[in-house]
Amino acid sequence: MKEDGVYDVVIVGGGASGTALLYILARYTSIARIALVEKHAEIGSVNSRANNNSQTLHIGDIETNYSVEKVKEVASASSMVAYYAQALPLEIRSRVLFPTHKMVLGVGKEEVAKLEERFENIHTIFPNLKKLNRAGIEEIEPMVVRGRPPHEPIVALAQMGYAVDYQKLAESLVDQTLARADASGRVKIFLGSPVTDVERDADGQWKVLCANSQTLRARVVVFDADAYSLLFAKRLGLGKEFSLIPVAGTFFFTNEVLKGKVYTVQEPRLPFSAIHGDPDVRVEGKTRWGPTARFFPVLEARSWKTSLDYFAVSGLHRLRTWRSFAVILLDPLRFWYLLRNLLYEIPLIAPYFFAQRVRKIVPTLTGADFVRARGFGGMRLQRVNTNTHELLLGEGKIISDNMIFNMTPSPGASVCLYNAVRDMEHILRFLGSSDVFDKTRLQKELCDPRDSLILHDPSLETSYAS
């Protein structure tokens, strides 16, 4: 086996979360040796790829399932991505960050009342957020009003925001890290290197074993590999109480009928984003609609070869796992939601069923306007606590002896830099050394001057749908 000395930190996973940690450690600490290992040949090839996510920088303005407390925290955490991208050279920034109008639409008296109340609760957090009546909505998104019954109550909360190509973001984080004068000898990137196992060596260091016979020895290992993080944690006897419900999202395209992002009011009990439409950052002249949701037993979208890994991590051999799945999925709201989504998978007639849902946003669309977005849609593997039969929405983290296992479904990419700073503090404690963290520099470069960087964890306190 090939070995390359001992790294202070090895990061497993080259998506937005793993590359954000690489960037934070290299730019704002004095940690001497850092490696990033990615199993695919390209950075950001899985959940961060543009066709596998909503491409939204989630800050809490249109995410109605976030509590007000979470909005306050996520808004500043997510803004770190915008501050980072805005400082990039224009040629790079224009491929990463896309200014766009964002709107959450309420239809009917109940949703209108919810959005009016929400506006009163969050408009001080977002001074530019506007509450729009029918005329205001029509001015920004005319197709949302055209053909709608004149007496149907509607209201919207809207402001400018960002779409993000998270794969390009991840690539830029690596490129910016390697461009530093001190990167040579300090930072190494291993692409096309699937990690097969991790184990202790005789000296107490971690050995990260790769399929290409490469072995990396590390003082600290961080898994930023979403569901695979749980798989490796279980191999070390950690997180055995968790299973995963594998939900695959799919999308449809129509011709361009929206100018920006239009979300709908979220049902907080559902672990899936409500139907929305928006421009695609890589497909011009189209509006992308979705996501739908279906059970798909894999760990990576459209990759059946990862189904064996799903069964290895899911714990389906345990009765308590099946009992948990029954408790969660037979909840009437979730059951009928998943059953309805099956209609969106039936060839030929699926667009017509799907159009019925989308007409809540654009009333004039018909099934003939929709085509399936082939190759679009990612996996959202929702954690389940099989001891309590609870569905755990949002992010998860397992911290062990000089190891961190991150599971970061949406909006993990939106808060990737913030999460990286959290993990950096754990890493510095693990190393127990005199490594320096330049908090002042980080605050100046990545944070709103009005915010104080308090490493409080907004992602794990209260549930939110992904």
Is the Cα dihedral 75, 76, 78, 83 positive or negative?
positive
Tokens of 390: 């609870």
In whole angstroms, what is the distance from residue 367 CA to residue 352 CA?
4
Say if residue 370 is exposed, middle or buried (CB neighbours under 10 Å; 0-12, 13-18, 19+).
buried
- CA-CA-CA-CA torsion for 158, 160, 164, 169, nearest 10 degrees? -140
Of 37, 42, 47, nearest to 13 by C-alpha is 37
pLDDT score of 458 more than 50: no
Highest-scoring range by mean pLDDT, 271-275, 289-293, 323-327, 437-441: 323-327
In whole angstroms, what is the distance from residue 381 CA to residue 406 CA?
13
Q: Is the peptide bond before 291 cis (omega within 30 degrees of 0)?
A: yes
| Per-residue pLDDT tens digits for 35-84 | 999 999 999 999 999 999 999 999 999 999 888 998 998 999 999 999 99
Distances, alpha carbon 345 to alpha carbons 8, 143, 352, 366, 371, in Å: 47, 26, 11, 17, 12
Strands (E), 124-280: 130-132, 154-164, 187-190, 195-200, 206-210, 214-224, 242-255, 261-264, 276-279
Which amino acid makes up residue 200?
Answer: R
Q: Is the peptide bond before 411 cis (omega within 30 degrees of 0)?
A: yes
Residue range 1-55+165-241+395-466 in CATH 3.50.50.60 = yes
Q: Where are the domains of the chain?
A: 1-55+165-241+395-466, 242-259+266-386
In whole angstroms, what is the distance from residue 290 CA to residue 278 CA?
9
How many Cβ atoms from other residues are within 10 Å of residue 2's Cβ?
9
- CA-CA-CA-CA torsion for 124, 127, 131, 132, nearest 10 degrees? 180
| Per-residue pLDDT tens digits for 325-366 | 999 999 998 899 889 999 999 999 999 999 999 999 999 999
Length of the chain: 466
What SS3 class is residue 33? coil
pLDDT score of 105 more than 50: yes
Strand partners, 396: 407
Is the Cα dihedral 277, 278, 281, 285 positive or negative?
positive
Using left for φ > 0, alpha for ψ between -120 and 50, and beta otherwise, residue 121 falls in alpha
- CA-CA-CA-CA torsion for 333, 334, 339, 345, nearest 10 degrees? 130
Q: What's the rounded mean pLDDT across residues 120-129?
A: 96
Q: How confident is the model at residue 182 (pLDDT cuts 50, 70, 90)?
A: confident
Say if residue 449 is exposed, middle or buried (CB neighbours under 10 Å; 0-12, 13-18, 19+).
exposed
What phi and psi values does residue 462 have, to the nearest 5 degrees?
A: -130, 155
Say if residue 87 is exposed, middle or buried (CB neighbours under 10 Å; 0-12, 13-18, 19+).
exposed
Which amino acid makes up residue 81?
Answer: V
What SS3 class is residue 173? helix
Q: Which is more confidently placed, 266 or 94?
A: 94
Res 411: pLDDT: 74
Q: What's the rounded mean pLDDT across residues 387-396?
A: 88
In whole angstroms, what is the distance from residue 436 CA to residue 351 CA?
56
DSSP state letter for 89: -
Q: How confident is the model at residue 277 (pLDDT cuts 50, 70, 90)?
A: very high
Q: How confident is the model at residue 184 (pLDDT cuts 50, 70, 90)?
A: confident
Tokens of 198: 């991790």
- The continuous run of DSSP H or E covering 378 comes out as none
Q: What is the pTM of this model?
A: 0.94
In whole angstroms, what is the distance from residue 265 CA to residue 157 CA?
11
Tokens of 275: 């139907």
In whole angstroms, what is the distance from residue 216 CA to residue 458 CA?
32
Strand partners, 398: 405
| 55-77 per-residue burial string, b: 16 or more CB within 10 A, e: under 16 | bbbbbbbbbbbbbeebbbbbbbb
Res 462: pLDDT: 40
Q: How confident is the model at residue 120 (pLDDT cuts 50, 70, 90)?
A: very high
Strand partners, 3: 215
